[in-house]
Amino acid sequence: MCANSTASSAASGTDTHCPYCALQCGMTLIPLPDSNETHAATRAGVEVAERPSFPVNRGALCGKGRTAPAVLARQARLTQPLVRRRSSDELEPATWEEALDLVATALDQTRITHGPDAVGVFGGGGLTNEKAYALGKFARLALGTSQIDYNGRFCMSSAAAAGTRAFGVDRGLPFPLSDVARTGCLILVGSNPAETMPPAMRYLKELRDGGGTLIVVDPRRTRTAKQATLHLAPRPGTDLALALGLLHLVVAEGRLDQDFIDSRTTGWTEAHSAAMAYRPDLVEHITGVSERELRQAVRLFCDPEHAMVLTARGPEQQSNGTDAVSAWINLCLATGRAGRPLSGYGCLTGQGNGQGGREHGQKADQLPGYRKLDDPLARAHVARVWGVDAETLPGPGRSAYELLDALGGDIRTLLLMGSNPVVSGPSAAHVEQRLRALDFLAVCDVVLSESAQHADVVLPVAQWAEETGTTTNLEGRVLLRRKAADPPAGVRTDLDVLNGLAARLGWEQSFPTDAEEVFSELGRASAGGPADYSGITYARIAAEDGVFWPCPEGGAEPAETGTAAGAEAGACTAGTPRLFLDRFATPDGRARFVAVMHRPTAEEPDADYPLRLTTGRVQAQYQSGAQTRRVDALNKAAPGPFVELHPRLALQLGAESGDRLAIVSRRGRAVAPARVTRGIRPDTVFMPFHWYGEGRANTLTNPALDPTSRMPEFKTCAVRIELAAPVSQDRNRKH
């Protein structure tokens, strides 16, 4: 039987989920004894306990999860609305009524004066499904604007685009994470779960312990790469050529699964012709990965009966990211490693609700249920649920960076909810300038983030442990976060905020504040769509440790998604844990090869900027750091930015670990201490992107967009390095 995960009693705690990455690890929140008011501001009121019964993390938690309650403390957060006063140009306390009146008036006046599309809405991949759904509905119904997108565009949009065109539907992992431990070989491309989602490392250990092999593709020898059977270290921006080279060798060595190609795919002839141009010597020249390593990778991948490829931000955050992911999918299809148990392609979603956040309406071109906004049938269905004429719904809008780039121009007023683009956006100094250029900025957030500091009105909202709602993890498993504590007085939920604004705009009845009521409506809006939640209820989630979508009302599975495999004894089978086993979600049921060719990155190194910069995360911080940088234990573990570089490059610069280095791109300059390591390519430097100020990595990054996904090229840009200030000023060094 499935483990029952209903909420525990108040005495023993509340079963819920971590607020950070897309693992959405299960945890239990235990109430702390009451304390006097002197200590109340520094206390969270709850502490974290392990929850071994939850199947994804089985009790394991990283440092971020264990310290998550710290941001619940009043001293770490906003507890009252703030309004920028003309007299002082400072944010000062205000009442909720005044703050909501100001925001609603600005939204309405902008619409009247400049048209609905002069109002922008920018959301976040950390919002619950209910809030993501309500925000998308608010933008299109109450505001009538097409200008809505969210920071999940920066997460896995390239993988989503590639997965949709190959398989007909995008779900990060089309199988449970537990399947990873039981495959024969895993190629992990551009992912470092040892830093980004540590509890997932147990699956990689179980894979190796069971005789499987791990291939890690990363320009750095990360903590994850150190666990690999084979580490391939390509130049940043060359993942597409690497995948094409592996497919070339699969053909040359006679390792194709021709029966699978003939019976379950289309488009092989064109994809085959494209791949045959990528001889091993050419691929070695492009990527820096040797022919010997290429052949070893093909052998490790093709020899076992089962194999998988998982991609993450490495290949995806490139101006050719969609094609790069398509090349890895082609490798899986050509070898029959898709649509079969324990084999397939998947994407490791990064943000906590990056999957659900786009499924239900935050993305510029999508309606709830993963429906396309330009599909007349989809528009008609959602309009019926919303009680409006489909003709009144706006069309697709700008993608995330394009929306941010238009601030202060076409877009005059912005509602920002759950995102911090001043730190997380590409060419972040430019994004910050665009925020400043707005006529009016309203921000809903837990903390006074760097973006919120530019706001005209800041609305303090409740956090993960203070409200109930659902999220969808990287497996497509819909989970229930339960309220375990009351928010401080003066704090409201995001649903309350949208209701208050909608009421002032004449739409109060369309925006309920009860999360379960919103989820029920979301289910009706998603019914019949690719991401069908109509059969999912809070009670069913609680009883079954989550429900995998698609899960239509009545429990029958839609034919276009394929059927679930026979589950392991004792495992939960709610919804559809495994997609594509019978057919793919395309009209003819076949997966599509996509012929792709390598192309250089948007910005290649040259004489002025001879190095490549790549960016990423560290274990103790999360995304823009808006929350984790307020936790003392996490700051002690990861106190600030750094620049990772190879000893050979350090010698050329005359730099040593600890020296302050200036990294300069065509967009700006960042300064951080050096960290010299042999675990990175000599032609590449690395910076984590969690910090603001002079060490802001995204000051440097290139906003060049993938033509399909509109993903910015975070993972590679051309830079040079200057020695800013040595640790010891009296050392005689070459600069």
The 10s digit of each residue's pLDDT in 179-200 is 999 999 999 999 999 999 999 9
- Provide, rounded to the nearest whole percent, the portion of the chain with pLDDT above 70: 93
Is 72 inside any structural domain? Answer: yes
Helix (H, G, I), strand (E, B) or coil at 359: helix
Q: Residue 735 pLDDT more than 50? A: no
- Strand intervals (E) in 6-55: 14-17, 26-31, 46-50
- Asked if 48 and 27 touch (Cβ cutoff 8 Å), the reply is yes
pLDDT band at 730, cuts 50/70/90? Answer: very low
Residue 64 confidence (pLDDT): 96
Question: Could you tell me the residue range of the domain that residue 45 belongs to?
Answer: 14-76
* Buried/exposed code over 125-144 (b: 16+ C-beta within 10 A; e: otherwise): bbbbbbbbbbbbbbbbbbbb
Domain count, the chain: 3
Is 67 inside any structural domain? Answer: yes
At 616-637, the pLDDT tens digits run: 999 999 999 999 999 999 999 9
pLDDT band at 574, cuts 50/70/90? Answer: confident
CA distance 261 to 333: 7
Look up tokens 């490549």; give the residue: 612
Domain with residue 69: its CATH number is 2.20.25
Based on the domain organization, do 169 and 43 belong to the same domain? Answer: no
Average pLDDT of span 520-541: 96
Based on the domain organization, do 346 and 208 belong to the same domain? Answer: yes
CA distance 329 to 323: 10
pLDDT band at 555, cuts 50/70/90? Answer: low
Based on the domain organization, do 183 and 38 belong to the same domain? Answer: no
Q: Residue 358 pLDDT more than 50? A: yes
Mean pLDDT of the chain: 93
Single out the residue in 334, 350, 366 at which a domain terminates: 350
Helix (H, G, I), strand (E, B) or coil at 316: helix
Is 207 inside any structural domain? Answer: yes
Q: Residue 120 pLDDT more than 50? A: yes
* Buried/exposed code over 596-616 (b: 16+ C-beta within 10 A; e: otherwise): bebeebbbebeeebebbbbbb
Is 97 inside any structural domain? Answer: no
Single out the residue in 76, 106, 125 at which a domain terminates: 76
Domain with residue 338: its CATH number is 3.40.228.10
CA distance 38 to 251: 70
Q: Residue 563 pLDDT more than 90? A: no
- Asked if 195 and 221 touch (Cβ cutoff 8 Å), the reply is no
Residue 562 confidence (pLDDT): 37
Average pLDDT of span 556-577: 45
CA distance 203 to 197: 11
Based on the domain organization, do 168 and 26 belong to the same domain? Answer: no
Q: Which residues contact 675 (CB under 8 A, 6 or more apart)?
A: 642, 643, 644, 645, 657
Model pTM? 0.93
For 281-290, 556-565, 587-596, 702-711, which range has the lowest pLDDT when averaged over its residues? 556-565
Average pLDDT of span 55-80: 94
Is 332 inside any structural domain? Answer: yes
Based on the domain organization, do 52 and 170 belong to the same domain? Answer: no
Is 652 inside any structural domain? Answer: yes
Residue 38 confidence (pLDDT): 44
The tokens for 578 are: 């495994």
Based on the domain organization, do 72 and 171 belong to the same domain? Answer: no
For 68-82, 273-287, 322-336, which range has the lowest pLDDT when averaged over its residues? 68-82
DSSP labels, 652-714: HHT--TT-EEEEEETTEEEEEEEEE-SSB-TTEEEEE----GGG-GGGT-EEEE-TTT--EET
Helix (H, G, I), strand (E, B) or coil at 275: helix
Neighbours of 683 (CB within 10 A): 16
Based on the domain organization, do 160 and 248 belong to the same domain? Answer: yes
Based on the domain organization, do 316 and 226 belong to the same domain? Answer: yes
Based on the domain organization, do 72 and 180 belong to the same domain? Answer: no
Based on the domain organization, do 167 and 316 belong to the same domain? Answer: yes
Based on the domain organization, do 208 and 342 belong to the same domain? Answer: yes
Residue 9 confidence (pLDDT): 40
At 372-406, the pLDDT tens digits run: 999 999 999 999 999 999 999 999 999 999 999 99
At 225-238, the pLDDT tens digits run: 999 999 999 999 99
Residue 74 confidence (pLDDT): 86
Residue 571 confidence (pLDDT): 34
Is 659 inside any structural domain? Answer: yes
CA distance 98 to 375: 40
Q: Closest by alpha carbon to 670, among 687, 694, 688?
A: 694
- Provide, rounded to the nearest whole percent, the portion of the chain with pLDDT above 90: 89
- Asked if 120 and 411 touch (Cβ cutoff 8 Å), the reply is yes
Single out the residue in 76, 105, 124 at which a domain terminates: 76
Q: Residue 155 pLDDT more than 90? A: no
Is 439 inside any structural domain? Answer: no
Q: What is the CA radius of gyration of the chain?
A: 25
At 424-476, the pLDDT tens digits run: 999 999 999 999 999 999 999 999 999 999 999 999 999 999 999 999 999 99
Based on the domain organization, do 56 and 190 belong to the same domain? Answer: no
Domain with residue 640: its CATH number is 2.40.40.20
Average pLDDT of span 505-518: 96
